[in-house]
Every structure is written in C-alpha cells, then in structure tokens.
C-alpha cells in the first residue's frame, strides 16, 4: 500500500466521541475548502458504523450546505431512522463551528436474489495504455507548477487516468459533454465492502462536473475561468466491486443552466459489470469581469 493511500485511510477513519457521534479531521484540497468527496466519504463511514455487517450500502443522497473549514474538525451525528427486516436507513449531519455543512441519507440492504439486467459498458481503451495522472498533468505547460503539485498531492492515493484531455488540459473549444476516466486506489484494500464504497464515494466527487466544462470549452477551477462547488450528490450501488481494481467512470452532462451544471455517470468494473450510478449537480459560474 502506498504511503498516500494509507494517509487517506487514516483521514477517513473517524474517532468515536459518543454513541452515534463521530469526529473527523480534514486536510487542504485543490481549492481552499474541504474536498466534498472527503466529507461524503467520512459521512458514509459514520453511517456504516451503526449498521449490521450483513447489510451493504445500496444508495446515498447528499447535500453540500456550506464550505468546510480544513483547519477545524468535523463532527458527524448519525440518526438511526429505520431498521427493517431488509433495509436500514441512516441520516448523517456533518457540523463545523456549530453549523451543519453537509447532510447524508444512506440506505443499506441485506443480500437478495432478484431480477438482473444492466446497461452495457461503453467502449474505452485499456487503462494500461493511458498516461498516468502525473504524466498527463505535467504535460500541460500552461498549468502553473503550484496548481499541478496541488492536484498531484490531492490525488496521490488514487491512480486516475483520463481517456481524453481533461477540461484544464485542452480548453477554449467546446466539446461533447462526455468524459471518461479509469481509477483505482494506489494499493490493495481490505475486503470490507463498506471500505470500497467509501473510497468510490471519495473519488466520485473528483471529476463528475468535467463534462459540464467540456460542453463550454472551459478549463475549470484549475485555470480560474469558472467558479464551482458541489451542491448535491447521489449514488446507487448495484453490484459488488473493489475500489482497488480498475473502474471505468463514464460521465456526461445533459444540462447546464441558472449557474448550475448536472453530471450523470455510470461506473463499470473492468470486466463490464455496472457497479454504480452517480448523479451530481454543482454550481458552475463564470466570474464577472470588472
């Protein structure tokens, strides 16, 4: 396991303060606020620790309410909304400085046999044939060196490979609002299914709004031509997967309006199984010129 991955796992490992109350710490992100994927992943950890081990996460719905302060701890309060025969539901509120910054509703289910079908996996090149994230980022001379280093540090725990140029790599000309990345953790994880859900949740917030930017030829927060932040985030976990094995994150944007952009995505395992569906809306604003 890489040092960066172990550091991330330590970051996501919450401290239990009291019954159904947990505390997490933060670290700086590419932007001067807590990375949304971190808060979401920590909230899933908090919810999961109150659920029997035979019930696995099948969906989560979240709202980002306020920017998180990287210099302050985050307290996660878990409400046990329902414990049924098949489903368990939890609500988590993340609090900083006495105010909620994030809410999560998560549902867990015991394993059941049932009807089974899925959308086919889209075509994508083998991840082994693609440049690594570091190779890709260092290949763009227009990006400031400090921006490149912040990106690399923020993503050091994950091997994330773009199929095509990301928005900040080739911008100025609108493209199809469609983006693909392969990702896996930089090291093997334990077999705990919740851990793999937590890591996939963390990564899912990294690139989902890229397709919004592509549609308008914008480079994004990396080059300062838009201001953005996640508003809400939803995930459905369809089939077992491992976050330490290659996953294809196929993303598209059907709409942007009113200062908001919508991203939709499917995550497939390398052998073609549809593992996760993801939807996110975010603020995407063009800075005003003075």
Task: Respond yes or no: is residue 280 known to be catalytic.
Answer: yes
In the block, residue with structure tokens 């394993």: 111
Task: Respond yes or no: is residue 205 known to be catalytic.
Answer: yes
Tell me how many degrees the CA angle 233-65-236 measures, rounded to the nearest 5.
15
Three-state SS across the chain? CCHHHHHHHHHHCCEEEECCEEEECCCCCCCCCCCHHHHHHHHHHHHHCCCCCCEEEEEEEEEECCCCCCCCCEEEEEEEEEECCCEEEEEEEEEECCEEEEEEEEEEEECCCCCCCCCCCCCCCCHHHCCCHHHHHHCCCCCCHHHHHHHHHHCCCEEEEECCCCCCCCCCCCCCCEEEEEEEECCCCCCCHHHHHHHHHHHHHHHCCHHHHHCCCCCCCCCCCCEEEEEEEEEEECCCCCCCCCEEEEEEEEEEECCEEEEEEEEEECCCCEEEEEEEEEEEECCCCC
Closest listed residue to residue 278, CA positions, set 226, 222, 202: 202
**Distance between CA atoms of 148 and 144, rounded to whole angstroms?**
6
Candidate list 180, 204, 264, 280, residue with the active-site label: 280
Candidate list 230, 251, 253, 264, residue with the active-site label: 230
**Distance between CA atoms of 39 and 202, rounded to whole angstroms?**
8
Candidate list 42, 96, 179, 205, residue with the active-site label: 205
Task: Respond yes or no: is residue 26 known to be catalytic.
Answer: no
Active site residues: 205, 230, 280
């Amino acid at each position: 396991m890489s040092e960066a991955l172990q550091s991330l796992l330590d970051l996501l490992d919450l401290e239990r303060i009291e019954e159904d109350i947990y505390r997490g710490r933060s670290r700086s992100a590419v932007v001067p606020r807590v990375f949304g994927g971190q808060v979401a992943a920590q909230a899933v950890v908090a919810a999961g620790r109150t659920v029997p081990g035979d019930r696995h996460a099948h969906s989560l719905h979240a709202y980002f309410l306020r920017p998180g302060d990287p210099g302050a701890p985050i307290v996660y309060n878990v409400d046990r909304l329902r414990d049924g025969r098949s489903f368990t539901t939890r609500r988590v509120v993340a609090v900083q400085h006495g105010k909620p910054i994030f809410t999560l509703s998560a549902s867990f289910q015991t394993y059941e046999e049932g009807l089974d079908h899925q959308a086919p996996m889209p075509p994508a090149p083998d991840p082994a044939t693609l440049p690594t994230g570091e190779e890709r980022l260092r290949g763009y001379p227009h990006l400031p060196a400090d921006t490149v280093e912040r990106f690399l540090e923020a993503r050091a725990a994950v091997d994330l490979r773009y199929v095509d140029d990301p928005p900040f790599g080739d911008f100025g000309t609108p493209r199809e609002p469609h983006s693909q990345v392969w990702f896996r953790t930089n090291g093997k994880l334990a077999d705990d299914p919740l851990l793999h859900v937590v890591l996939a949740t963390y990564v899912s917030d990294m690139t989902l709004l890229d397709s919004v930017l592509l549609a308008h030829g914008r480079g994004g927060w990396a080059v300062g031509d838009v201001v953005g932040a996640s508003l809400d985030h939803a995930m459905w976990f369809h089939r077992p997967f491992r976050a330490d094995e290659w996953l294809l994150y196929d993303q598209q944007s059907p709409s942007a309006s009113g200062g908001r952009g919508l991203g939709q995505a499917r995550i497939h395992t390398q052998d073609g199984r549809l593992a996760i569906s993801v939807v996110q809306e975010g603020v995407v604003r063009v800075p005003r010129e003075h």
